[in-house]
Amino acid sequence: MTQTASPDKPIRLRSSRDVAAAVPRLLGYRPHRSIVFINTHDDGRVSTMRVDLPEAAPPTAEKRFITSLVGMLCKVPEVRRMLIVVYADRPFDDGGDVPGASLVRPLVRRLLDSGFVVHDALCVAADAWGAYDGHDAGIPHALDELDAAPLGAEDTGEPAAAVEALAELPAVGYLARRAFDAALDRAIRASEYLRPVLAAEAALALDPDTADSDELAAVMPVLLCPELRDAALFTWAWGVERGLDLLDEAERIADGEIGPGDDSIALDLMGLGEAEPPDRERVARAVALMSRIAALAPEDVAHAPLTVLAWLHWSQGRGSVAGCFVDRARELDPSYGLAELLQTVLRQGHLPNWAYVMPDA
């Protein structure tokens, strides 16, 4: 899984220690078994990308993994300088070398050959941290050196212990769940003539913390129908016009005017098309809404809002958080199509094409 992000305020990295200490604050959590890239763009902004650290593999498999990583980094616009931090669960000198050295050192060489500048390659192991190369290569440093925040990150707060903490749903009580369950029954009985785009837009205007059960449940019948659910996703991500366009295109597909593989719905839904990046503010509001609904929804239908929540996070480059939600959705309904597809995409480390476009300053 991967994640891209750009911090809201600059963090000054004056040393290797600052680099290793900054990663959890840039991601918002402490990564485990990960390779994290801190990328500096030509305009001075910074983005991060996290990839699962693979298990030990033959050299040919590691070479394929390196090729995939470099190709992924080449898609990030205007990046030539980067820092690499590997998180391993083994001791720092396990086996006589820094964990992951057989992968990281060839990766650095390949990046250099591809025109990137790699300023540092570090490892945070189970018992120490240190560098892969340079004058202090292989020298362990105490992990508690990384506790102090680097300059500029003092007020970012303590990062979550793991990405799962970022995927926690809001706490809701028994009575709130019962009220939502009853409201859902009413919404389903009244859903003969659904207007998915209008329902999605009305739901987006709610304050999830103060909305009543009927207001929150009104959008659930839309989410339970795949075609209408996709219209809601497009509405939340790109606005009413895109939601209406999707409904029109779906109708043309059903009428045979557009053949399989020729429609743009699936391409944009999986981030393979040419869609512009989703509206961040709209997606943030949709995330808050769906977090509340997913927490309230009974188990027989909760897979739908959980998957929608996963897609919304994935659309913003938060693949690790999306993975937590899609795993929960598949536990509840292993056959749910969008969850199955999204889980496959996440396991392949694929991000939507728009995730590689840096947002405006």
Assigned token pair, 247: 């409904």
Q: Is residue 166 part of a domain?
A: no
Q: Is residue 187 part of a domain?
A: yes
- Which of 132-136, 197-201, 307-311 is the least confident region? 132-136
Q: What phi and psi, each to the nearest 5 degrees, are found at residue 46?
A: -125, 140
Q: Please compute the mean of the pLDDT values over residues 87-94 and round it to a whole number.
A: 90
Q: Which residue has 């040419």 as its token pair?
A: 274
- Which of 71-75, 129-133, 142-146, 201-205 is the least confident region? 71-75
Q: Is residue 74 part of a domain?
A: yes
**Of 237 and 164, the one with more pLDDT:** 237
pTM of the model: 0.78
Q: Is residue 361 part of a domain?
A: no
Assigned token pair, 148: 């102090």
One domain, residues 83 and 219: no
| Spatial contact of 317 and 159, defined as CB atoms under 8 Å apart | no
One domain, residues 57 and 95: yes
One domain, residues 221 and 336: yes
pLDDT in tens, 287-300: 999 999 999 999 99
Between CA 239 and CA 220 the distance in angstroms is 19
How many structural domains comprise the chain?
A: 2
One domain, residues 66 and 33: yes
Q: Is residue 296 part of a domain?
A: yes
pLDDT in tens, 163-212: 777 889 999 999 999 999 999 999 999 887 889 999 999 999 999 999 99
- The fraction of the chain above a pLDDT of 90, given in percent, is 53
One domain, residues 259 and 313: yes
Domain termination residue (choose one: 112, 131, 161) = 161
Between CA 18 and CA 68 the distance in angstroms is 28
pLDDT in tens, 254-277: 767 766 555 667 778 788 777 888
Print the domain residue range for 218.
174-356
Q: Is residue 167 part of a domain?
A: no
One domain, residues 189 and 258: yes
One domain, residues 193 and 268: yes
One domain, residues 151 and 267: no
One domain, residues 157 and 11: yes
One domain, residues 232 and 190: yes
| Spatial contact of 327 and 343, defined as CB atoms under 8 Å apart | yes
User: Widest CA span of the chain, in angstroms?
Assistant: 71
Q: Is the model's pLDDT at 349 over the cut of 80?
A: no
One domain, residues 77 and 141: yes
Per-residue pLDDT band at 311 (split at 50, 70, 90)? very high
One domain, residues 233 and 335: yes
The per-residue pLDDT for 99 is 92
The per-residue pLDDT for 2 is 53
Assigned token pair, 335: 């056959």
- Which of 25-39, 125-139, 251-265, 307-321 is the least confident region? 251-265
